[in-house]
Amino acid sequence: MSSKQMDFGNEAVRLRPGVQVQECSVAGCDELGAEFLPQRMQVPPILWCKPHAQMLARMIAERDYRDFVSALREVGVTKPPKLVTAEVVGDKRKCCVPGCKEDFYCGMIFEPYKNPGRAWVCASHAFAANEALSRLNGPRLLHELQRKPRSLDPHRRKRARAIRSAGAMHQGKPNYIEAVCRDLQRERISMPQRWLQEWEAAGFRVESSNWFDALKDRIAKKRIQKFISKACQAKPRIIPRP
């Protein structure tokens, strides 16, 4: 078919019924799922947006590394392992334990938490890798995130009240979300901690109460807009007196 024949307008193109576009698996994230976590992290093939995939991969790799180092310390190895890049292959692979010159037997990857992040161990030190793998840090982290209660956020109620108050003053005005963000930043209302962690993993850092500054960033803007719009529309819960 010629390019001319294929040149439909957006109005003419429709997907078949039943075609699904999967969003990121993180609750509250409406970005499209684009990545799976590496198989070595023992996580089911669940789709994540790129920032969340990077954040989770880093968290799992950090736990693996700490368990690996902890296992070595139990046998008296106090110096950090000598990690290498993926370019070290073949006979160049030696045990990462300081002072050990034995050839590798197996290994682990601690990327993206460590860079370089490849740890090769000989048969005598393979127990450290086995210990880290046996912790099932990937599935364990997902389990923790599924069970994490919202009440752990100590600023949740104060934040919701501040947003509703600012929204009542500015809603209906042009760029009312920007005005709300200015008020929240002026009053030093903290954003959810999980946002800051996710943004930092994606390379964006901002102070916890700098709503207006965060709104200017591509990574944060969509989430803040959606969060404030939803909070302004929500009605406060009224508990009747007995």
Q: Does any domain span residue 110?
A: yes
Q: Does any domain span residue 34?
A: no
Domain of residue 77, residue span = 40-147
9-23, 93-107, 168-182: which range is least confident on average?
Answer: 9-23
Q: Which of 113, 147, 181 is where one domain is finished?
A: 147
In sequence order, which residues have a C-beta less than 8 Å from that of residue 32 and are 6 or more positions away?
21, 22, 23, 24, 49
Q: Does any domain span residue 102?
A: yes
- 48 with 115, same domain? yes
Q: Check pLDDT > 70 for residue 6.
A: no
Number of Cβ within a 10 Å radius of residue 197: 13
- 139 with 170, same domain? no
pLDDT in tens, 34-62: 899 999 999 988 899 989 999 999 999 99
Q: Does any domain span residue 91?
A: yes
* Terminal Cα distance for the chain, rounded: 73
- 173 with 190, same domain? yes
- 88 with 159, same domain? no
- 143 with 160, same domain? no
Domain count across the chain: 2
- 109 with 184, same domain? no
- 99 with 115, same domain? yes
In angstroms, rounded to a whole number, what is the distance separating the alpha carbons of residues 101 and 210?
Answer: 51
Record the tokens describing residue 86, joined without a space.
Answer: 């993926």
Q: What are phi and psi of 103, to 5 degrees?
A: -70, 160
- 143 with 44, same domain? yes
Q: Does any domain span residue 99?
A: yes
pLDDT in tens, 9-41: 556 677 677 767 788 888 778 788 889 999 999
- 132 with 157, same domain? no
pLDDT in tens, 177-235: 999 999 999 999 999 988 998 888 888 889 999 999 999 988 899 899 999 988 887 65
